[in-house]
Amino acid sequence: MGRHSLPDGSAAERTGARSGTRRRTLVLSTALVLAVVAGSVVALGSGLLPFGGPCDGESARLDVAASPDIAPALEAVAKTAREDATRTDGRCLDVRITARAAGDVADAFGQRPVNPEFQVWIPDSSLWVDRVDAERGTPLTAASTIASSPIALGAVPRTAGALGWPGKTYTWTKLIRTPTSGDAPRLGVADPARSATGLLALDRIGAAHAKDTRDSGEAGTRTAATAKLLHQRIADSDGQALATLPRDGSGAEQGNPRRNQALLLSEQAAYAHNAAAGGGPRLDLFYPQDGTARLDYPYTLVDDVEMSPEQTRAASRFMTLLGEADGQRTLRRHGFRAGNGAADPKVVTAAGGRAPQPYAAAPADPPTVKELQAVMGRWTVTVQNVRLTTVVDATASMGSPVPGGDGRSRMDLTKHSLLQALATFTPEDEIGLWKFATFLEGGKDYVELSPTGRLGDRDPAGGTHRDALTAAFDSLAPVPRSGGGLYDTTLAAYREARDTYTGGKLNSLVIVTDGANGDAGLGLDALVGKIKELADPKRPVPVIALAIGPAADTAALDRIAAPTGGSAHRVGDPSQLHQVFLKALMTAGGKGPR
């Protein structure tokens, strides 16, 4: 993600940048420079000076959407430009800043078509730009990293002192689980699904667990446990997380269980909090020894192909102002570091950092898009409830014995594996079960064995839905001399799952099959066309197709899953079905809630 550099070279390119994006940045920077030169020639030829003089004529308007934390600093630079009559194309530069949460903008840009209201977007992290790129949404071109801020753990003085601040330093894993006076400090964080700070911190925690254990299963278990702990005190946004800190310095509020004693936050957020603390306690910062993540504030052009030459030159002019000495001083006055991440002692001190805390250490390498999707998937599956409709193939071929399976059939191993997966879900999760084979119920090839419902709900007899679902799984058996029905069943189940969509949960349709369609009814092209008509980005129901056995038609399953944002997976060993299923569910969850 860190792929940008300021045009004047005052900020070095971020560690871990990818070569393909470096080339794009270089081409863009060259184009912007040429645009500025061309604009200057036009202005001089028209008798208009490029700089100085009162703004009494036409202005060059540039609309910028920016993350709320950096918007005030950008507005200060834009205001100075207006007051100084800074010009582009011989016209006064008029930059209008709108504070917009990065996640909201990314959601809008991830869908086509979009008619952006602004020409430049400055989110708090490149991860949002990368997410839009991965979704093939609105074309974005990141040109420069204008500022940065490392992510740390901020604690109120009493908690920080108990943790040994500033002399004692910690790794990520020890910092998260270290007790304070025998009890863990109340630690808050912004929702990783909506906050770059929360997501990048969770990624670093997961990476630290992986390094500590060198066992992916154990690392995943520890990360899931940490995620559950963090979720207990989650806030919707970075601003709301800061609002959970004590409001006064008397110490009385530290005993209030609704108040957090520590937060995972950016250095800049701590700087702003300390500057505006008033009577409230300031924060002291711990910087993890094993490399922190950082926010990188990419200066991003929105669909630059559609921008006019005047807009392109105005965008370049404002980017240059932000990279110049005055612009960088303004950003530092608001608590930001330079784009290359170099620590500024005054900023660090005001934010709550002090040696020997490793505040000047280089950050960890940035995670890739796939790594962040995996982190988001683990978070979603761990802490966000799910609504799953499971469809299982009950055709005769599911009775085939599995080589090396001690005589057990595909159905035997599939049932066992699905029951293992069922045990991992909470009472708040909603799960249902269908099966299919030819002519199961009248003229239909499918039957609903257990409706999709909350596992913790109880029936009149006192049993839970989990109990009923377990019995339904146990009842699964191959239907002799049967086959087909996959496409008709998939359409019916998908329509039902979409019509009963539940907001705030990961909704999905899970299909387990060992064969092809084998039915003269609905064809593949017709099914895919109907799925495309039903799919709704605002109510996503990804299809997860699990193909077991050599006869399973994975190519067809890929086509079925693609329009829904889902995926198809071949499962060589049915006993491992639950592992493939949970991994696929994490991938679907990694795309984030909509």
What confidence tens digit (pLDDT) does each residue in 74-102 have? 999 999 999 999 999 889 999 999 999 99
Q: Which range, 12-26, 213-227, 270-284, is most confident?
A: 270-284
Rounded-to-integer distance, Cα 401 and Cα 410, Å: 6
Beta bridge partners of 165: none
- Whether the per-residue pLDDT at 8 is higher than 70: the answer is no
pLDDT at 213: 76
Answer with the residue of higher pLDDT: 46 or 441: 441
At 20 the pLDDT is: 37
Q: Which residue has the higher pLDDT, 530 or 17?
A: 530
Give residue-wise pLDDT tens across range 399-408: 988 887 777 8
Between 374 and 490, the higher pLDDT residue:
490
Lowest mean pLDDT among 104-118, 184-198, 307-321: 104-118
Assess contact for 281 and 246: CB atoms under 8 A: yes
Alpha-carbon gap, residue 351 to 13, rounded angstroms: 24
Provide the 3-class DSSP secondary structure of residue 241.
helix
User: Higher pLDDT residue, 195 or 19?
Assistant: 195
Residue 262 has pLDDT above 90, yes or no: yes
Q: Which residues contact 470 (CB under 8 A, 6 or more apart)?
A: 419, 422
pTM: 0.69
CA 81 remoteness from chain centre: 35
pLDDT band at 253 (very low <50, low <70, confident <90, very high): low
Model pLDDT for residues 372-391, shown as the tens digit of each residue? 888 887 787 777 788 999 99
DSSP 497-540: HHHT--TTSEEEEEEEESS----SSS-HHHHHHHHHHH--TTS-
pLDDT in tens, 513-545: 987 776 667 889 999 999 999 999 889 999 999
pLDDT at 183: 57
How many residues comprise the chain?
594
| Angstrom distance (rounded) from CA 72 to CA 78 | 10
Q: What is the pLDDT of residue 594?
A: 36
The pLDDT of residue 279 is 59
What sign for the dihedral angle of Cα 475, 476, 480, 482?
A: positive
Lowest average pLDDT, out of 273-277, 331-335, 553-557, goes to 273-277
Q: How far is it, in rounded angstroms, from Cα 190 to Cα 14?
A: 25
Q: Compute the half-sphere exposure of residue 550: CA atoms within 13 Å on the CB side of its CA.
A: 4
Split at pLDDT 50, 70, 90, the class of 250 is: low
pLDDT at 23 over 70: no
